[in-house]
Structure 1
Amino acid sequence: MSNKINKNLYAVFGNPIYHSKSPDIHNFFYKLYNLNCNYIAINASKNFFLNEISLFFKNGGKGANITLPFKEKIFPICDIITERAKIAGAINTLKLYNKKFILGDNTDGIGFLSDLLQNNLIKRKNNILIIGAGGASRGIIYPLLKFGCNIFITNRTFEKAKFLMKKFKKFGNIKCIKIKNLKNNKFHLIINATSAEIKNDLPLIPSNIIKKKTICYDMFYGNEDTNFMKFCKKYKSEKVYNGIGMLINQAAHSFFIWNKIFPDIKKTLFFLKNKIK
């Protein structure tokens, strides 16, 4: 990216990035509000991504999203970091501030909570089980605790779950629980925050924790039901969701940071669902 950018350009950086729906979403936002902007996907080098992202801004880029595997590694190029990004330990949104400073933020958590609220899937004091203790979990725990929910984390490697519990316990009621002990508990909402779907795998959880009224949410999204979604439907959950709503909402919050406009979620969801059929 050696040439100066002549228009308002935004991008998502990741590796791999071919599957990203972010360009579809953001370019729909620009069309919806008649903004002279363009949003592209950039497959960044795993070794030189910091230089590539810095060059993007030096050449006139206005803002960027960061996805796997760079979210936890982007801090060094940021001049300003928001509190929620610090707490999450990950950054997914960058903005050029005053034409010289790079602001680092995280909209994953607020995007996830927004989707839950829009679909009436969450209430204060709900017991929520999060399966997985990686980067996806990090981004959503703080807003759920701040909202007033009770969080339980389980993970194949229990030490990772304990680490997250210790990291976030000052923000609310959070516990870690071994997979073998899950069957003795009742959860209002079960969230799959693992990468099992990428490996065509399924999180190891007992089926008896899934009831008719248990809300099941897979943060992964695709054209068809994920393995986790199929598993939950098999055991009679009537409310099963994928991560497409979270994807749109986190994008909307990024868009608001850049443009001070909060986009229409329903129109975008309708557009994207029709596009990925």
Structure 2
Amino acid sequence: MDRYAVFGNPIGQSKSPFIHSQFALQCKQLMQYEAILAPADGFADSWRDFVASGGKGGNVTVPFKEQAYQLAEVLSARAQQAGAVNTLYLNTAGQLCGDNTDGIGLVADLKRLGVSLAGCTVLLLGAGGASRGAIGPLLDAGVRQLVLANRTFSKAQTIAASFDSRVVGCGLTDIPQQAYPLIINATSSGLTGSRPEIAATYLKDCQLAYDMVYGAQPTTFMQWAKQQGVPQQADGLGMLLAQAAAAFTIWRGVTPDIEPVMALLKKQLAV
């Protein structure tokens, strides 16, 4: 039986084993998927041990995405753009290949929610790995301008400079005043019950406030957006499932339907 795994530290909270087991059942794939707690300084060894015992591919989560990027022998264009890898697999030549499905997972979820990205102006909050991985796929989907706002202006500016002129970097207090139909929170503020400190005026024309964090209840950012009159709010559960589905397709050559798995996960979260 083909073996796959997700590597992280911590890893107990990961929904990936449940998600991929459901995908395997749905797509009639004979495979096993587990969670592996890798030592903070021992990801490479954990991966090699896994492959030596028959491992075929894996997902990588915090804090190992950059280490996976360094370990991979062949990198996809998406991974190179993101500077991080969340999906690993061995090709027919036995080389370790690294890909990043986070951004295409986000785009797929936005499309599922009815967002028209072609010609859209996007405000992206936070300049960590999550946002960097999202920028390329958002631009590929036709976004006209993307404003990357971060507490530390220089970090936003550095990331913006690695893309074309459609991407502008700024601080949270000097965001250009213009219409942002889509605002994406890529910071981890939702994990601590807070939100990015931006002025409510930026939400005036927002149609969807999207938070990459997910949970049983709407995040603080989502609640705030609703209070400000934003018509639609969404969390990152759909993105989690869509990026997992993209990884599954890379490994198995079949694409699962995320909707039934999302329904099951929502029930789990509600307990």
- What does 1:16-27 correspond to in 2, within 5 Å? 16-27=10-21
Q: TM-score, normalised by structure 1?
A: 0.93
Comparing 16-25 with 150-159, greater Cα deviation is found at 16-25
2:210 counterpart (217, 229, 241): 217
Equivalent in the alignment of 1:133: 127
Equivalent in the alignment of 2:151: 156
- What does 1:23-62 correspond to in 2, within 5 Å? 23-62=17-56
1:94 counterpart (88, 91, 105): 88
- What does 1:8-23 correspond to in 2, within 5 Å? 8-23=2-17
Equivalent in the alignment of 1:142: 136
Two-structure CA RMSD over aligned residues (Å):
1.5
Comparing 267-276 with 142-151, greater Cα deviation is found at 267-276
Identity of aligned residues (%): 39
Which runs of no fewer than 5 residues in structure 2 stay unpaired?
Answer: none
Instruction: Give the match's secondary structure for 2:230.
Output: coil
Aligned counterparts of 1:176 and 1:122: Cα–Cα separation in 2: 23
Aligned counterparts of 2:168 and 2:45: Cα–Cα separation in 1: 39
- What does 1:73-88 correspond to in 2, within 5 Å? 73-88=67-82
- 1:275 is displaced (CA, Å) by 2.3
Q: Is the 8 A contact 1:252 1:263 kept in 2?
A: yes
- 1:213 is displaced (CA, Å) by 4.9
Aligned counterparts of 1:99 and 1:13: Cα–Cα separation in 2: 23
Aligned counterparts of 1:34 and 1:127: Cα–Cα separation in 2: 41
Q: Is the 8 A contact 2:147 2:167 kept in 1?
A: yes
Which runs of no fewer than 5 residues in structure 1 stay unpaired?
Answer: 1-6
Instruction: Give the match's secondary structure for 1:9.
Output: strand
Aligned counterparts of 1:27 and 1:126: Cα–Cα separation in 2: 36
Equivalent in the alignment of 1:254: 247
Q: 1:155 to 1:274 in 2, by over 3 A?
A: same
- Residue correspondences, number: 269
AA partner of residue 229 (structure 2): K
Instruction: Give the match's secondary structure for 1:276.
Output: helix
Aligned counterparts of 2:118 and 2:40: Cα–Cα separation in 1: 40
Aligned counterparts of 1:271 and 1:96: Cα–Cα separation in 2: 31
Equivalent in the alignment of 2:163: 168
Aligned counterparts of 2:117 and 2:79: Cα–Cα separation in 1: 24
Q: Is the 8 A contact 1:57 1:96 kept in 2?
A: no
AA partner of residue 149 (structure 2): T
